[in-house]
Structure 1
């Protein structure tokens, strides 16, 4: 499929950047962490490829009910990029506020390191939790599914380059584009940084909808998740939050409480008492 082909084609570029960063800034790497990132990337790509084999016929069935016939051209491609980036913002924001989606997205945030290999740290569960649902409006409007997923792949490819500590602030570009500085804030668990900067390519959505936070020189980013799981095992990383969510939903009584577990604000699968690290409000499912 186009998504996998584009990302695989760009892999040599990604690997060159990782090699450079590793050789020049070895202190930013933990070998076991980067190996876990690689394993998770391979698992994710395999799951996505299988999911698209089943989902693409559904997407083309949906495409039959499109509102418009959109011809491919510079304007339509730019419109596809802009709309997909807008939808990505809402998918990303929802993934931090809805437990069902966070159970997959938590994988990407679970590293305490920030380097180019962190971009590879993705979840095998994205197809199950329904990331693809967020692209359906584009198909219904009239964008061919292949165009939609090509734009998705290019958006994700761009995001590889914002996962690093070796690039500082980029001046006026910070006003429009997602940058390493902006994305470092997104990966941080510091109070004031948590649940900020959901940008894919354009940071204008964060600025428009009140989720922007600037990296402060006097507040260095602390990376990871609230309730750090402290493991390099890709299976545990992939499923710890998912298992916790399902066990909690099974344990609580009442339909309303179960729905709150699944679709309310996420809670941690690990107890934590690191003073000042968490700004997450505890949830009570009773």
Structure 2
């Protein structure tokens, strides 16, 4: 991602956010006597607008594909509407961005302590100086490294009983669509955001590139959950995670640590670590076995409570 693109986007984004804040938010806060919160309100407006942008991009890409060639008709629209609630709550909060900002505020203190101790780890651009002169190459490298981290985070979600107790909500959906991507327990989302934001800071992702990286991976995840009969071909399936490849993961291959197809964007990780299933003809029904009805069809609050209960039982060794 070259500096001209990021600078242009950043300038335009700041202008739109500033106009909305000055026109709508600031007058309302002034009238309510809440100007002490104005700076925080500006930050959340920024986060919220970015969330709306990601939802719009995903919808414009994925919805026409689902209408064109669906794997199955949508039989339970109430369950899909619940997934939409998850999406708007998750992306208007934009947890990864929030985690990135919060961790960044701690990073300066942490780096100061490490510098005094002579232990400051180098960023990728310090390890490979040519990346500084090639922003697009650096962007691609950051995407690959973060995707590698997401692969192992996903495996951990299935490998640890307590984490699977939370992540099972994601796999309980029997009517998978592109909205299903954000169907996660809130604790699962917090852990994922801290994981992703922490790796991004560790490798030195520039703040200007972070939203673009997040958008690429969000679009890839939503696309992989789409209810569309779409394969990328023998070669393409091995380069990018397709809806077919990930649908296998949400079928019978989702069970615990023995699952397959964990990759978010690049299936090469599944190939390297022996967790890939390349069955190009299979479009199985989704929904992990053993899920209770609340986790499959209940509303957002009931599913969140079920997740809290499941993780408590798992930590107590009773599940």
- Please report the TM-score for the alignment, with normalisation by the length of structure 2: 0.66
Q: Quote the Cα distance in structure 2 between the aligned partners of 1:168 and 1:23.
A: 10
Q: Quote the Cα distance in structure 2 between the aligned partners of 1:68 and 1:249.
A: 36
Q: Which runs of 5+ in 1 are unaligned?
A: 253-260, 262-266, 268-286
1:85/1:201 contact within 8 Å kept = yes
Where does residue 282 of structure 1 map in the other structure? none
Q: Which runs of 5+ in 2 are unaligned?
A: 1-42, 113-119, 126-131
Equivalenced residue count is: 252
Deviation at 1:148, TM superposition (A): 4.3
Deviation at 1:233, TM superposition (A): 1.4
Deviation at 1:238, TM superposition (A): 2.2
Q: Quote the Cα distance in structure 2 between the aligned partners of 1:23 and 1:182.
A: 19
Q: Quote the Cα distance in structure 2 between the aligned partners of 1:15 and 1:68.
A: 35
Where does residue 10 of structure 1 map in the other structure? 54
Larger mean Cα displacement after TM superposition, 124-133 or 30-39: 124-133
Where does residue 57 of structure 1 map in the other structure? 105
Larger radius of gyration: 2
**Helix, strand or coil at the partner of 1:36:** helix
Where does residue 32 of structure 1 map in the other structure? 78
- Please report the TM-score for the alignment, with normalisation by the length of structure 1: 0.73
| Equivalent of residue 160 in structure 1, options 218, 222, 226 | 222
**Helix, strand or coil at the partner of 1:161:** helix
Where does residue 123 of structure 2 map in the other structure? 68
Larger mean Cα displacement after TM superposition, 239-248 or 62-71: 62-71
Q: Quote the Cα distance in structure 1 between the aligned partners of 2:57 and 2:89.
A: 20
**After superposition, where does 1:1-286 map in structure 2 within 5 Å?**
5-16=49-60, 17-18=62-63, 21=66, 25=70, 27-45=73-91, 46=93, 48=95, 54-59=102-107, 61-62=109-110, 65-68=120-123, 70=125, 71=132, 73-129=135-191, 131-144=193-206, 147-148=209-210, 150-171=212-233, 172-189=235-252, 195-215=259-279, 217=281, 220-230=283-293, 231-250=297-316, 252=317
2:100/2:201 contact within 8 Å kept = no
**Helix, strand or coil at the partner of 1:10:** helix
RMSD (Å), alpha carbons: 3.3
**Helix, strand or coil at the partner of 1:125:** helix
**Helix, strand or coil at the partner of 1:225:** coil
Deviation at 1:52, TM superposition (A): 5.5
